[in-house]
Structure 1
Amino acid sequence: MQYISTRGGMSPVSFSEVLLEGLAPDGGLAVPEALPRVSGETLETWRALTYPQLAAEVIGLFATDIPREDLARMTEAAYVEFPDAVVPLRPIGDGVTLVGLSEGPTLAFKDMAMQFLGQVVEYVLEKKGTTLNILGATSGDTGSAAEYAFRGKHGVSVIMLSPQGRMSDFQRAQMYALQDDNIHNVSVEGVFDDCQNLVKELAGDVEFKRAHRLGAVNSINLARIAAQSVYYFWAWLRATDAVAERVGFEVSFTVPSGNFGNILSGYFAKQMGVPIRRLVLAANENNVLDEFFRTGIYRPRSSAQTLATSSPSMDISKASNLERFIFDLVGRDPQKVVAAWGELDAQGFFDMSADQPRFESEFGIVSGTSTHADRLATIRSVHEAGFGIIDPHTADGVKVARENIEDGVPMLVLETAKPEKFAETIDEAIGVKLEYSEELQQLLAAPQRVTTQSGDAAELRAFIAANALL
């Protein structure tokens, strides 16, 4: 398996090279030359596998340059802190089943890929005899997942940008309370998109990137997408355990979406052969992606126009991973991708309305929006029906999922995080003050270590130069 750039300016490279690169040298994103295909018969042979075993099989289709026995060892190590099922499925009524992705150390779905990345990045760096400085941006959960995955890892440092005042108290505590020498938190004035723009600017400066050995673990890193695709395979296998005629039996997934990485993983899984009927994108009030999939017009919003909502991890108005979907939409023609982004730079939007009917008919993608009132009502309805408490982002997914249920097609909603991470919204919705374990209470009370910056690229460059591993 070799990887190329969506913008056509990168010679084919291996999984290990993509893992350490982040953005391609031409500013594009790495994609497989061709996605591997998995037959229905092969899927059936995977039904009895544990989650780590399944992860080794699926990721192994992407990471063909890593010996399978090494990969299996890394996937076993990645999910050791999870319960035995790793990803449990839980029906919550109305034909909806939650796919439990928040059983990891930071209580959010980002752990599913990041714990594997912590293993494989250290492995590749050791093989190459080099170091890596991970530069990332987070809207809430990516940062803590990355920091917990890489804390104490040999040859790796993490420099994580987060938007000031845009995360929950719990999310800030998870990141800023870490005191590990290889973890650096930078709080940036602005919104997530400002943080993401800084990461892209520095990643696009090839000389600076190479001089300071910068890499990425945001979902622009293709290894994140590969690792996340595993739970679509797992969820289909578990959801169809009791189905008599299982081969080819279709299910749909609803995915709370901000940066388009999680749902892109589902798109990859569908293209690889998982029988997925629909991928339903659930947006919050920052619904640029919903507008795109409904109209075909992609119009990112400015920082000032990006709303602070009660599902903050989705407060994103410029979705990095959309470029990978656009690449397939335009027939994998890099020149058309470059032209679309040139149009975006010139006029603030690009128009693919002529292709909009294909979004569902050819790719199976539909979308919807959920608001703060919707989140509260959905959390309340799930709780009152006796199905427990869900977090605000998952509530966005459940709300939109209910609008897109089809007879005879199971609807699976990807859980985003544990409700404890968003206690204020839970209290507002159902009047319940969540009780924290003693360990979580200590986390919230711990001293925090964070550097505040204005969002100036030169200031960030200086910080990296002073703190990067060489």
Structure 2
Amino acid sequence: MLYISTRGGAEPLPYCDALLEGLATDGGLAVPQEMPSVSPETLERWRALTYPQLATEVLALFATDIERDDLARMTEAAYAPFPDAVVPLRRIGGGITLVGLSEGPTLAFKDLAMQFLGQVVEHALARTGSVLNVLGATSGDTGSAAEYALRGKERIAVFMLSPQGRMSPFQRAQMFSLDEPNIHNIAIEGVFDDCQNLVKELAGDLEVKRSLHLGAVNSINLARITAQVVYYFWAWLRATDADGHAEVSITVPSGNFGNILSGFYAREMGLPIRRLVLAANENNVLDEFFRTGIYRPRSAAQTLQTSSPSMDISKASNLERFIFELVGRDPERVVAAWKDLETQGFADFSADLARFTAEFGIVSGTSTHADRLATIREVHEEAGEIIDPHTADGVTVARQYIEPGEAMLVLETAKPEKFAETIHEAIGIELTYSDELQAMLDAPQHVVDLPDDAAALTAFIRERALS
């Protein structure tokens, strides 16, 4: 299996090389040269597997340059920090089931991909004897998941950008309380999109990228996308275990389009997901795209600060991978569309979506702060569960689409403890923390403030990068 760029100007690479490369040399994103497929018979054989075993089977279809025994060792190590179930499913009534993706060390769904990423990047670097300076951007949960997965690794240093004052107090503490020599937290003046733009600017400068050995761990990284494919198969197998024939749709709270893209890949591989339902918050650029076919990213000034902060994104990096499929895998059309974004502020895919909406199976909706509060309250009253605000966005939109006889799964994104203020506003409950979490919240924080300036960021990294 080789990986090509969405923009057509980079050499095909095997899995390990593509994940270390991060952003392709032509500025595009790595995608499979051909999507692997899974037969119904194979699906049935997978029902009895543990989560690490299933991860080995799915990832082996993508990472063909890794020996099966090495891959099995990595998946076992990646999911050792999780409870035995790894991804439990919980019914909350109204035909909706939560897919518990937040059982990892940082209480967010990002752990499921990041823990594997830490293993596979270390494996790839050991094969070549090289080092990697990871440059990432986070709107809340990616940063801590990456740092907890990569801390202490000898060949890796992490430079994580976050928007100043835009994360929850818990998210800030979880990242900034880490006092590890290979972890560097950088708060950028601006919003998440500004952080993401800086990552792309440095990664797009090949001299800087090569001289600093830069790589990425946010959802532009191939390993993140492929590792997330696994829990779509896992959830579908659990949801259909009773009779094997239930129609399953899956709702995904989405900001950067990485998580739902993994669901799209699973569907393209043959997993019979009826519909993927994208749930946006007030920064609903993606909802507008799937309803109208117009992709119109907003400026930093137009990006709202909401109570589901990890989705406060107006320029979704991974949408490029979906658009590549939407336009028939034509890299010239992708490049032309991105030029339209630069010249007129939007790109028009309405004709493409009109032709392929049923084939791709993605619908969307928007949730607001009032919706989040109401949904958190209703789920607590009806099911005794407390859900975080991003998951509440998912449940809100899922309710708009669920149909009789359909199993509607909602991907949980984080534990509610990460957003205690919103939970208190919704249901009046003060969440309590374990001694370990309280110690984290009270610990000194280590972070450097920098302006939204590529030169300043480059200088900061150059002084601290591994070489």
Fold shared per TM-score above 0.5 = yes
Q: Secondary structure, in 3 states, of the residue corresponding to 2:432?
A: coil
- State the alpha-carbon separation in 2 of the partners of residues 195 and 274 from structure 1: 34
Query: Partner residue of 1:229?
Result: 229
User: Which aligned pairs between 1:27-106 and structure 2 lie closer than 5 A?
Assistant: 27-106=27-106
User: Which aligned pairs between 1:123-162 and structure 2 lie closer than 5 A?
Assistant: 123-162=123-162
Query: Partner residue of 1:174?
Result: 174
Q: CA deviation at 1:19?
A: 1.0
Q: CA deviation at 1:355?
A: 2.2
- State the alpha-carbon separation in 1 of the partners of residues 36 and 404 from structure 2: 31
- State the alpha-carbon separation in 1 of the partners of residues 349 and 452 from structure 2: 32
1:410 matched to 2:445? The reply is no
Work out whether residues 311 and 393 of structure 1, in 8 Å CA contact, stay in contact via their aligned partners in 2: yes
**One-letter amino acid matched to 1:258:** G
Deviations 1:73-103 (A, max 9, x none): 0000000010101000000000000000000
Work out whether residues 278 and 363 of structure 2, in 8 Å CA contact, stay in contact via their aligned partners in 1: yes
Q: Secondary structure, in 3 states, of the residue corresponding to 2:278?
A: strand
- State the alpha-carbon separation in 1 of the partners of residues 325 and 96 from structure 2: 30
Deviations 1:347-381 (A, max 9, x none): 00011112232453110000000000000000000
- State the alpha-carbon separation in 2 of the partners of residues 422 and 369 from structure 1: 20
Q: Secondary structure, in 3 states, of the residue corresponding to 1:74?
A: helix
Q: CA deviation at 1:270?
A: 0.2
Query: Partner residue of 1:26?
Result: 26
- State the alpha-carbon separation in 1 of the partners of residues 375 and 434 from structure 2: 26
Q: Secondary structure, in 3 states, of the residue corresponding to 1:90?
A: strand
User: Which aligned pairs between 1:437-456 and structure 2 lie closer than 5 A?
Assistant: 437-456=434-453
Q: CA deviation at 1:445?
A: 0.2
Q: CA deviation at 1:235?
A: 0.1
Query: Partner residue of 2:274?
Result: 277
- State the alpha-carbon separation in 1 of the partners of residues 268 and 432 from structure 2: 42
Q: CA deviation at 1:223?
A: 1.0
Deviations 1:294-338 (A, max 9, x none): 000010000000000000000000000000011011100100000
Q: CA deviation at 1:461?
A: 0.4
Structure 1 residue ranges (4+ consecutive) displaced by more than 6 angstroms after TM superposition? none
Q: CA deviation at 1:250?
A: 3.1
TM-score, normalised via structure 2 length: 0.99
Query: Partner residue of 1:239?
Result: 239
Work out whether residues 359 and 365 of structure 1, in 8 Å CA contact, stay in contact via their aligned partners in 2: no
TM-score, normalised via structure 1 length: 0.99
**One-letter amino acid matched to 1:19:** L
Work out whether residues 293 and 359 of structure 1, in 8 Å CA contact, stay in contact via their aligned partners in 2: no
Q: Which moved more, 1:301-310 or 1:249-258?
A: 249-258
Deviations 1:36-91 (A, max 9, x none): 00001001101000000000100110000000000000000000010101000000
- State the alpha-carbon separation in 2 of the partners of residues 454 and 153 from structure 1: 28
1:468 matched to 2:459? The reply is no
Query: Partner residue of 1:267?
Result: 264
Work out whether residues 359 and 366 of structure 1, in 8 Å CA contact, stay in contact via their aligned partners in 2: no
- State the alpha-carbon separation in 1 of the partners of residues 299 and 11 from structure 2: 34
Query: Partner residue of 2:110?
Result: 110
Deviations 1:132-181 (A, max 9, x none): 00000000000000000000012000000000010000000000000000
Work out whether residues 277 and 364 of structure 1, in 8 Å CA contact, stay in contact via their aligned partners in 2: yes
Work out whether residues 87 and 231 of structure 1, in 8 Å CA contact, stay in contact via their aligned partners in 2: yes
Q: Secondary structure, in 3 states, of the residue corresponding to 1:52?
A: helix
- State the alpha-carbon separation in 1 of the partners of residues 291 and 217 from structure 2: 30
Query: Partner residue of 2:349?
Result: 352
Equivalent of 1:334, from 296, 319, 331? 331
Identity of aligned residues (%): 76
1:17 matched to 2:17? The reply is yes
Work out whether residues 327 and 333 of structure 2, in 8 Å CA contact, stay in contact via their aligned partners in 1: yes
Q: Secondary structure, in 3 states, of the residue corresponding to 1:4?
A: strand
Contiguous gaps of at least 5 residues in structure 1: none
Count of aligned pairs between the two proteins: 467
1:256 matched to 2:260? The reply is no
Query: Partner residue of 2:316?
Result: 319
**One-letter amino acid matched to 1:305:** Q
Q: Secondary structure, in 3 states, of the residue corresponding to 1:301?
A: coil
Q: CA deviation at 1:387?
A: 3.2
Query: Partner residue of 2:298?
Result: 301
Contiguous gaps of at least 5 residues in structure 2: none
Deviations 1:219-243 (A, max 9, x none): 0011100000000000001111111
Q: Secondary structure, in 3 states, of the residue corresponding to 1:106?
A: coil
Q: Secondary structure, in 3 states, of the residue corresponding to 2:103?
A: coil
- State the alpha-carbon separation in 2 of the partners of residues 268 and 328 from structure 1: 10
Query: Partner residue of 2:207?
Result: 207
Work out whether residues 286 and 315 of structure 1, in 8 Å CA contact, stay in contact via their aligned partners in 2: yes
Query: Partner residue of 1:365?
Result: 362
Q: Secondary structure, in 3 states, of the residue corresponding to 1:217?
A: coil
Deviations 1:231-286 (A, max 9, x none): 0000001111111x44xx53100000000000000000000011100000000000
Deviations 1:169-208 (A, max 9, x none): 0000000000000000000000000000000000000111
Q: Secondary structure, in 3 states, of the residue corresponding to 2:371?
A: helix
**One-letter amino acid matched to 1:52:** P
